[in-house]
Amino acid sequence: MSGPTKPKNSAKKKAKAAPKRDNFLGTTTQKLRDSAGNVCSFPGCYVHTHGAKSNGEGTVGIGVACHIKAAAPGGPRYDEHQSPEERKHFDNGIWMCQTHSKLIDADESPYSVTTLLQWKRDAEARSNSLLNQKSFTEKEVKAAAGKESADLLHRFINRSDDPLLTPVAEIMKGYESNLANLDPRFTVEVNKIGSAYTHLIRAVDEDVNVNLVIEDVDKIEGYLAAEKAFLEEGRELTISGAHFKIEGSKLFEAFHSGIKGIEQAVLTMSAPRKEARATLFVRTPEGHETVLDVFPCYYYSGSLRTVFEGSALDGFFKVKAYCSHEGQDAKFDLLFNLEAWVGKNILNLPRFHKLANAAKLLDTGRFVIEIEIAEIASTFSSQSNSHNEVLHAQVQFLIDYIGFARAVAQRCAEPLIIKNTMLNPATYK
């Protein structure tokens, strides 16, 4: 009988402890969204937060009406002198995307009331400046620019007396277009890095077929394992030119026959690498969250799993995670590396204070990363890693160790520079 009664008692206690929130009315939320122009107010974000579903059946939104001064006691920037009406008033709100709403609403948020009010004013001013202006997607802008290329080429092609007026961009654009015309199912982008030219070929539609013929597979070292990783997870697969040819496309056939020393060429295949937004924070058993960083994370998928990779806190943490499409198999690896601090003044280490605050919570807390793709968020926790206690202990030790060194550095006349990050086992013990 004790089993069913515990959740009831716990729920009652939780309900009593929860402070009353002065939430916005629906009309206020709508007004905040409209005033920001349906765009996140975080400087430089410009993410659109509302639009039609891909199937045309209804709408989808990823925007959040955030309180500048918290809606309830204990929240960031809470003002006890505000009345309930003031807390849920339009003047106390700011429109954000989901990622940045979590950033400003987290415990110990570094963003002040003054800062958020300025963001709101800037977003509203930008929204107003776009009234009666045309709206273009990035693809539409590129198409319009392409139509101008022929005119620019005609205008400058005879101006060879001034090499600075050589229409390099237009010539490259024409070269790309001529290649793409060999097979209109593909687009071609050419990049020059040093003395090498890279041709990036993308299919226009998903349903494009060519024949890849791979020869002498038994002579390619590690091929079967690499092929499995490519098919199941979308990882990169590399094949030397002596072992492949592509049939069924004049574009690829032209490359294969036109490249001198084709045996020195390399074919590299991988699933599309897409960008997502990730948030790294420390979560305590009580549910308090301390945000460490919001950073770009990249992901790719195969037939079985999706793989996520990224780095946070200027390279201090390396993040790698994967999950199966059925949701039954998931893994999260969080590695840290102090190499980014080598050569720096120990008193000027980036984000050190945030790491120090996080390290204090790791006795009971855990690292959590939330990866947001469209309106879906995937969450991974270091608690799911069997080595999480070792990870937490190592991070705490290193931060404490550097903290002691910083205390010494404050008493030194000369800057204390980190030359290496090697610690012998005796020091760690």
pLDDT score of 21: 87
* Backbone angle region of 73, left / alpha / beta, with phi > 0 → left and psi within -120 to 50 → alpha: beta
* Per-residue tokens: 428: 């760690």
pLDDT score of 380: 82
pLDDT score of 374: 77
Is 4 inside a domain boundary? no
Say how far apart CA 366 and CA 361 lie, in whole Å: 8
Same domain, 305 and 366: yes
pLDDT score of 10: 47
pLDDT score of 143: 60
Same domain, 140 and 60: no
Same domain, 361 and 417: yes
**Stated pTM of the model:** 0.48
Say how far apart CA 283 and CA 288 lie, in whole Å: 6
Select from 243, 270, 297 the last residue of a domain: 270
Provide the CB-side half-sphere exposure for 395 (13 A, CA). 27
Nearest one of 363, 397, 402, 398 to 284, comparing CA atoms: 363
Same domain, 149 and 203: yes
Which residues constitute the domain of residue 107? Answer: 19-129
pLDDT score of 131: 86
Is 5 inside a domain boundary? no
Nearest one of 93, 82, 87, 85 to 31, comparing CA atoms: 93
Same domain, 322 and 378: yes
Could you tell me if 281 and 291 are in contact, meaning their C-beta atoms sit under 8 angstroms apart? yes
User: What is the 8-class DSSP label of residue 182?
Assistant: T
Element (H, E) at 408: helix 388-409
Same domain, 214 and 203: no
Is 174 inside a domain boundary? yes
Nearest one of 283, 307, 276, 249 to 367, comparing CA atoms: 283
Same domain, 354 and 398: yes
Same domain, 115 and 233: no
Is 14 inside a domain boundary? no
pLDDT score of 117: 95
Is 8 inside a domain boundary? no
* Per-residue tokens: 319: 């993040």
Q: Is 418 helix (H, G, I), strand (E, B) or coil?
A: coil
Is 9 inside a domain boundary? no
Is 11 inside a domain boundary? no
pLDDT score of 261: 55
Same domain, 106 and 239: no
Same domain, 100 and 181: no
Residues 6 or more apart in contact with residue 377 via CB below 8 angstroms: 98, 370, 371
DSSP string, 284-329: -TT--EEEEEEEEEEEEE-SSEEEEEEEETTTTEEEEEEEETTSS-
Same domain, 419 and 322: yes
Select from 223, 240, 270 the last residue of a domain: 270
Select from 270, 285, 301 the last residue of a domain: 270
pLDDT in tens, the chain (429 residues): 444 444 445 444 444 556 688 999 989 999 999 999 999 999 988 889 988 888 888 888 999 999 999 999 988 999 999 999 999 999 999 999 998 998 888 766 788 999 999 999 999 999 998 888 776 666 655 665 555 555 555 555 454 556 666 667 777 888 888 888 999 899 999 888 888 778 888 888 888 888 989 888 888 889 999 999 999 989 999 988 788 888 899 998 888 777 655 556 788 888 888 999 999 988 888 888 888 889 999 999 999 988 999 998 888 888 888 888 877 777 778 888 878 788 889 999 888 888 888 888 888 888 888 888 877 777 888 776 666 778 888 888 888 888 998 999 999 999 999 887 666 655 555
Q: How many domains does the chain contain in total?
A: 4
Same domain, 65 and 158: no
User: What is the 8-class DSSP label of residue 133?
Assistant: -
DSSP string, 374-399: TTEEEEEEGGGSTTHHHHHHHHHHHH
* Backbone angle region of 290, left / alpha / beta, with phi > 0 → left and psi within -120 to 50 → alpha: beta
For 162-201, write each residue's pLDDT tens digit: 666 666 777 788 888 888 899 989 999 988 888 877 888 8
Say how far apart CA 170 and CA 156 lie, in whole Å: 10
pLDDT score of 110: 81
Could you tell me if 307 and 328 are in contact, meaning their C-beta atoms sit under 8 angstroms apart? no
For 51-64, write each residue's pLDDT tens digit: 888 888 888 899 99
Helix-strand-coil percent breakdown of the chain, rounded to 5? Answer: 40, 25, 35
Could you tell me if 88 and 55 are in contact, meaning their C-beta atoms sit under 8 angstroms apart? no
